[in-house]
Amino acid sequence: MTGPQDRYRRYLETLSPQTLVSIGDFVTQDVRFKDPFNDVRGIDAMQRVFRHMFENVDDIRFNVGNIAMDGQVCLMNWCFEGRLGGKAWSFNGASVVTFNPDGLVAEHIDHWDAGRDFYERLPIIGWLLAWVRGRLSVR
């Protein structure tokens, strides 16, 4: 027997521009989606976030590692892989996903290091951020 977390995991791991139209089968109408760049509500807004991702990143894959469920709250760690600007791009993150009593996602909050995993890849500012990170780290 599989729970809502397993259904949602399979959906995320097979997410594509083609499967994006069926997101309403997995999330509530007023779903909240939050990541380091967005904090939106509603299916249409969540679809726009993912559509924007597919328009700007090629060869996207989500690989969900571990899942822990406590009541209606699910924690999942994952690895994102893709190609940004023609270069391989991958990073690890975690999501806190809250399901409603019907097993639909009411809230999906992603946690990942945008500074290290995105901004440090940019010219000039990336060098500066990497330098600051190096200066602040314990050696």
Residue 19 is classified by DSSP as G
Q: What local confidence, expressed as pLDDT, does residue 90 receive?
A: 87
Percent above pLDDT 70 for the chain? 84
Which stretch of DSSP H or E encloses residue 113?
none
Least confident of 63-67, 73-77, 83-87, 97-101: 83-87
> Which of these CATH numbers, 3.10.450.50, 3.65.10.10, 3.40.50.1100, 3.40.47.10, describes 4-112?
3.10.450.50
pLDDT band at 2 (very low <50, low <70, confident <90, very high): confident
Q: Where are the domains of the chain?
A: 4-112
**pLDDT single digits (tens) 15-39:** 999 999 999 999 999 999 999 989 9
